[in-house]
Amino acid sequence: MKKCLLLLVVLCTQFMLLAQEDAWVYLKDKQNVETSLANPTTILSQKAVDRKNRHHVVIDARDVPVNESYITQLKNATGITVMAKSKWFNAVHVRGTETDIKNLTSTFSFVDHIEFANRSLNTSKKSQEKVPSKITNTLTNFNYGNAANQIEMIKGEQLHLANYTGTGMTVAVIDAGFTNVNNMAGFQRLRSSNNILGTYDFVGRDSDVYTNTTSNHGTLVLSTMAGYIENQFVGTAPDASYYLFITEDALSENPVEESYWVEAAERADSLGVDVINSSLGYTTYDNPNYSYAPSDMNGNTAYISKGAQIAFEKGILVVNSAGNSGNDSWQIVGAPADASGVFSIGAVQSNGQYASFSSRGNSTQSTQKPDVVAQGQGSAVITQNNVIANANGTSFSSPIMAGGITCLWQALPSLTNNEIMQLVRESASQYNTPDYFLGYGNPNLEIALNSGLYLMDEAVELKMYPNPASNEVFFTLSSDSLVEVYIFDILGKLVINTLLTNVSPSVDVSSLSNGVYLVKFQSSNKSKTIKLIKQ
């Protein structure tokens, strides 16, 4: 009997020694930083550089990739599996035994510090964070069918009537499987317009996001933005372009999913994405040692929340579901929706009343959470079988709102992500009396649009006529104005750049093809953008 007990103790001890832990390994430096920053298109797409310049977002060392030779050495270290990497944090997510992970600090001089997902293993004081197609007029008066209530609740249809349907805007959807999106009739319009720009599964490490059999969540989420079945269903941004990224492992809950999410956000940034929709949230894990406490939902603790905040700083508008914990003991908004720069979306019923499952804000969060709400109970979606159905969750209120905001930003391209979010907040039903259930309330995107246009009209004293125009457009300027004019096509390509003065207050547009253009005026310290129709 004693021998059996001794054997059992030995086996248990060996098991504990071999237990796998997750950790983030933060690195000390990067390679060729100055050279990369001097030549930003070597590390970012031209579209990303243009977006950052347009919104005055600084390209810095966080945009430089992780040193690949460091990653190779970590991969070859004893007992270590590299799961993910982050250029923003200059960190690598690894898995291995506690001993093997801790050995990395003494083995490699380039390792700055290590943070275990099981925070009880972080015996030292908390380290300082190293945060280093075209518009058509025939399809804008949609018959929304089953999706009418959810878009009309936020007045998103008014943006569509004004020809703002998402054209020229790019959205990254970070989610679980996008089952059958490549085949379903409900996404035929999206595919025919070549508006799926790219895909990647960060869990499986391949580009196939369509045959994931563990979850169809991404399909339902995408449908609320990009789905289209004539006279039956229209998403809130049907003409935007999309990247589809899987970061959620539906078979388990592990903090590596946070690292996958940050990788996806970094890729979205490098591709020039305008808006991220993330209908994901993280609070507790299969291994309780990795779980967060409600007090950690302060926007500054969870790895994913800190990554989402950097995405905001990089100029992306991050829209995230608040969570579905309103009815359980957790109750409050989860990560990354707790980050101050994330636009967190709660859920309401079809009548605009609070949906009881929607996660709430509280004093733990440094900013008002949720920000606003949209329909999340009885939301219309298109399933992977091309059937229109109803679904519940902030997973759907978030993309419904994200699509609407995408169209709003299309209409107000000179504004920053923060300015767009503030316009939406100010348009909401209880902006002056926000609470922890509805946040600022139910937004009115028509009001937000008009407020934004008024702001831009006030920015520069200028009028343009005629509009529509055939050959020449004329401008009235204030007496001493000197204004530079940029005319962009609907895909964002600069087609005319000239200087306006009172002596020469017109621009020849006869060479332009018929269609819709954006005319941006820039004076010494002000700017304004107007839509021009060339016919």
Catalytic residue set: 175, 217, 395
Annotate 372-399 with b (16+ C-beta within 10 A) or e (fewer).
bbbbbbbbbbbbbebebeebbbbbbbbb
CA–CA separation, 161 and 130 (whole Å): 46
Instruction: Write the CB contacts of 95 (distance below 8 Å, at least 6 apart in sequence).
Output: 20, 21, 22, 23, 80, 81, 83, 256
CA–CA separation, 241 and 467 (whole Å): 27
Instruction: Write the CB contacts of 387 (distance below 8 Å, at least 6 apart in sequence).
Output: none
CA–CA separation, 390 and 147 (whole Å): 10
Q: At 381, which helix (H) or strand (E)?
A: strand 379-382
CB atoms within 10 A of CB 510: 9
Residue 295 φ then ψ, to 5° = -65, -15
Report which DSSP code applies to 335.
B
The tokens for 491 are 């895909």
CA–CA separation, 439 and 361 (whole Å): 8
